[in-house]
Amino acid sequence: MIAGVWANAQTSVTVTLPDRTILQGETVFLEGRIVCPGFCSSFDITVQYDRSVLRVENAAVGGYLGAPEVVTLPANGILFDFASGLVRVAASSSADVPGDTDVLFLLVVTGLNPGVSPLRIINLQVNGSLVDQTQVFGDDGSVTVRTPPPLLRVTRALEVRSGPSTLFEPLAMLPPDTPFEIIGISADGAWFQITLAESVQGWVAAGSPFVQTSGDLARVPFVTTPTPSPSRTPRPSRTPRPTITPTPSQTETPTITPTPEPQFGFVVSTANANVRSGDGVDFSVIGTLPAGSRAIVLGISSRRTDWFFIQLADGRLGWISSTVVNYDRDISALPQISPPVPPASIIPTLPPLTATEVTATAEGTSAPLPTIDPSATAT
């Protein structure tokens, strides 16, 4: 916490930094969010990070202060001290009300090396008509960078089974060009165990010519699984002597056992909809869901793109946008599924800024704002 003694929630201001886990080499947006009584029309924050674990590529003012034309940056309003691992963001607004989001500022960061980098607020000032500086608080965050796990992709649709043998039942069809994390190897080295969705695993034949792997397989543990037992063939019974057949009574109508409802239900398409290999329109189309058809829901994208992870009737797995389907359950209760890494064409490429590149302007005059579009990864 920064400064002051906690007061009632009606007059206190809190700026919160996220806790996030990313992969080494991955570039993501981090959002600093604010809770403020009334409207906090200006802020000045400095964040410290571990430069051996994390690299800050860029920074910008979020939408809380309003549209860019009403936002002003002071001299050195966005400033980087890479040697010390510091970034400063400061701005003010001439608007009377906040924008339609609580995002105060954005950082674009890249994971350099495995480890944990704190996101520590070492300076925080917020101003507004109802703000008392003794009641301004900052919640620190962190970024955990982990080594990319070994991944498996298939070059064509391939069957995944419940165990490391063709004697185990098929679970689904893997869509091509979609990465799945390898979490185990069978004792004979012939099968890979992969994660399909949260708490759902399956097995793929390692020797298939359609299987491609990446990453360090030496870190993957061997997994011992039970061998499926074939069902025992019953011995033939002795043929009974013929008996007189009585007049048959009315045959009882068999009871139909309903198919169990999937844990997270179904989505129903509102139009002929594409099913893709990832959570955005830049991923390849792997199939379609005709209008009025339904698919089993396995989860939703952890990138908050509002794309469902689904299983089609033929067992294939893929992603479909929430804008083309109906779902009658609580989306917040769905498992968060990590989608594939976006194609290189949609990863934001923002040139790093240095202190000398920031246009120094007089206090209170307009200065150009760095443009960051977080929705670039959402389509």
Same domain, 184 and 130: no
Domain boundary among 341, 357, 374: 341
CATH number, domain containing residue 17: 2.60.40.680
Same domain, 186 and 98: no
Q: Does 353 map to a domain?
A: no
Q: Does 115 map to a domain?
A: yes
Is pTM beyond 0.75? Reply is: no
Same domain, 59 and 42: yes
Check residue 132 and give its pLDDT.
Answer: 81
- Here the tokens at position 162 are 């419940």
Residue 111 CA from chain centroid, whole number = 16
Opening angle at CA 315, ends 194 and 276, nearest 5: 80
Task: Name the band, by pLDDT with cuts 50, 70 and 90, for residue 262.
Answer: confident
- Here the tokens at position 127 are 């101003």
Check residue 109 and give its pLDDT.
Answer: 96
Alpha helices in 91-136 (DSSP H): none
Domain boundary among 90, 117, 147: 147
What is the average pLDDT value for the chain, to the nearest integer? 82
Check residue 20 and give its pLDDT.
Answer: 95
DSSP letter assigned to residue 316? B
pLDDT surpassing 90 at residue 360: no
- Here the tokens at position 360 are 């120094």
- Structurally, how many domains does the chain consist of? 3
Check residue 349 and give its pLDDT.
Answer: 45
Higher pLDDT, 260 or 130: 130
Per residue in 267-312, pLDDT (tens digit) is: 999 999 999 999 999 999 999 999 999 999 998 998 889 999 999 8
Q: Single out the residue of 298, 88, 82 nearest to residue 199, CA to CA.
A: 298
C-alpha to C-alpha distance for 303 and 374, rounded to whole angstroms? 11
C-alpha to C-alpha distance for 80 and 119, rounded to whole angstroms? 15
pLDDT surpassing 70 at residue 372: no
Do β-strands 115-128 and 86-93 pair in parallel, antiparallel, or remain unpaired?
unpaired
pLDDT surpassing 90 at residue 358: no
Q: Single out the residue of 165, 164, 200, 166 nearest to residue 180, CA to CA.
A: 200
Task: Name the band, by pLDDT with cuts 50, 70 and 90, for residue 375.
Answer: very low
Same domain, 84 and 112: yes
Q: What range does the domain containing 334 cover?
A: 266-341
Domain boundary among 147, 166, 200: 147
DSSP letter assigned to residue 74? -
Neighbours of 257 (CB within 10 A): 6
DSSP letter assigned to residue 8? -
| Residue type at 2 in one-letter notation | I
* Contact by Cβ (8 Å): 175, 157: yes
Q: What percent of the chain has pLDDT over 70?
A: 78
C-alpha to C-alpha distance for 171 and 311, rounded to whole angstroms? 10
Same domain, 141 and 166: no
Q: Does 178 map to a domain?
A: yes
Averaged pLDDT for residues 331-351: 70
Per residue in 179-229, pLDDT (tens digit) is: 999 999 999 999 999 998 877 899 999 999 999 999 889 889 999 876 665
Three-state DSSP class for residue 225? coil
- Which residues have C-beta within 8 Å of that of residue 108, sequence separation ≥ 6? 27, 28, 29, 30, 56, 57, 58, 59, 348, 350, 372
Handedness of CA 174, 176, 178, 182 (dihedral sign): positive
Higher pLDDT, 114 or 257: 114
Q: Does 376 map to a domain?
A: no
Averaged pLDDT for residues 338-346: 69
pLDDT surpassing 70 at residue 230: no
Same domain, 81 and 129: yes
Check residue 46 and give its pLDDT.
Answer: 97
* Contact by Cβ (8 Å): 161, 190: no
Q: How far is CA 279 from CA 152, 206, 237, 282, in A?
A: 18, 27, 57, 8
